[in-house]
A and B are shown apart, each in its own frame.
Chain A
Amino acid sequence: MLEILDDLDRWQRSSKRVVVARVVDIEGSGPRDPGAAMAVNEDGEVAGSVSGGCVEGAVVGEALQLLEGERGAGVVTFGFSDDEAFAVGLTCGGTIHLFLEELNW
């Protein structure tokens, strides 16, 4: 999360609402380890990354839904091996579990 702190502080100063997505688990191969983080503000601006660019677009959609109250904080899974997984996949063939929450703690 260190690499996105400057953006988080900047958004905080301008009173933007922000969602943070963090990698919490990887099955198979995955480009980023647990702890990798990206943040999305209410304008859809992005900082950081959680994969090699495979799922970031989908994370923005989830994050904006969370800010609009259409979903709660929780784990989102992307990948090929999970039937419940979203249509977006990882090119490396692994499964990635992200925890999304609003930054209000």
Chain B
Amino acid sequence: MGSVYQAFSEALRAEVPVSLATVIDGPEVGAKLLVRPGSDTIGSLGNVGLDRVVERDALAELQAGRSGVRHYGSHGEARQADVSVFIESRAARPQLVIFGAVDFTRSLAAQGKLLGYRVIVCDAREVFATKRRFPMADEVVVDWPNRLLDRIGHELGPRDAVCVLTHDNKFDVPAITAAVKTDVGYLGAMGSRRTTDTRNQRLREVGLADDEIARVMAPIGLDIGSRSPEETAVSIVAEIIAHRTKRTAPNLRDGEGAIH
């Protein structure tokens, strides 16, 4: 096998973002172009103009984490369909940051892994935040939430999620205050309705605007009657999915229309 497969498989294993464009219909079926942000392309789709346009589109698709078929003229012209190119994007895994090394964290971390997230557990208390207690987490960080977000907050985007599970204002308030300044797609915080009310009061006192507080899904999770940490984790990840897909999560049986 050649250099395209070699570079593609290496990037997949190293979790380096990579996009593989393949001609699936047109004059050169099977021709390939491998695109990596910040590196030279490898291979060719058979035409320099087509390569240039597909490289640009592949980088954009990679950013959005999307894979799909696009159509071009044989020299890369838009609004033509001489060539169909399948662009397979392998973006870095989305991240799930869980603040609070509590019992619920273990189940949520496991659920997050199941859904393909890179899971980070963070707690300032080093007796709780140990790799031994959270072997499924990709990273266990002993630090204050705001300090972790100072470091990695700029990496967080629409595909990522932050869950605040400590329900202790000493940790919750700095975590939420730092998280609302990021572009993270989902932000949820655990606690009863009363805890949520008092926390919102504190968030207002430290200067958060109403629209920033409104970003926080609290009390966290969908209303499915979950009780145990395991059930609660299901309710939280279900809310993360519904939030991303902008659904309101009724039963499929009682609705109509497309499932996906």
A interface residue numbers (CB < 8 A to B): 1-2, 5, 8-9, 12, 22, 24-25, 28-30, 33-35, 72-75, 92, 97, 99, 101, 103-105
Which of A1, A12, A72 has most chain B Cβ within 10 Å?
Answer: A1
15 contacts between A and B (CB under 8 A): A1-B9, A2-B13, A8-B9, A12-B1, A29-B259, A30-B260, A34-B69, A34-B86, A35-B90, A74-B24, A74-B29, A101-B22, A101-B29, A105-B5, A105-B30
Tell me, rounded to whole Å, the shortest Cβ–Cβ distance linking B199 to chain A.
Answer: 37
B4, B12, B259: which contacts A1 (Cβ < 8 A)? B12
Indicate if B130 sits at the interface (CB-CB under 8 A).
no
Interface size on B, residues (CB 8 A): 25
Residues of A within 8 A of B90 (CB): 2, 35
**Contacts from B to A (Cβ < 8 Å):** 1-2, 4-5, 8-9, 12-13, 22, 24-25, 29-30, 32, 43, 67-69, 86, 88-90, 258-260
Assess the B9–A99 pair: CB atoms within 8 A: no
Inter-subunit contact B1/A25 (CB<8 Å): no
B33 CB to closest chain A CB, in angstroms?
11
Sample of 4 more A-B contacts, CB < 8 Å, known A24-B24, A75-B24: A12-B1, A25-B68, A74-B29, A104-B1
Contacting pair A74 B258 (CB below 8 A): no
Cβ of A99 and Cβ of B22 under 8 Å apart?
yes
Q: How far is the CA of A22 from the CA of B88 in the complex (A)?
A: 9
A73 to B68 alpha-carbon distance, docked (Å): 18
A35 near B67: Cβ-Cβ < 8 Å: yes
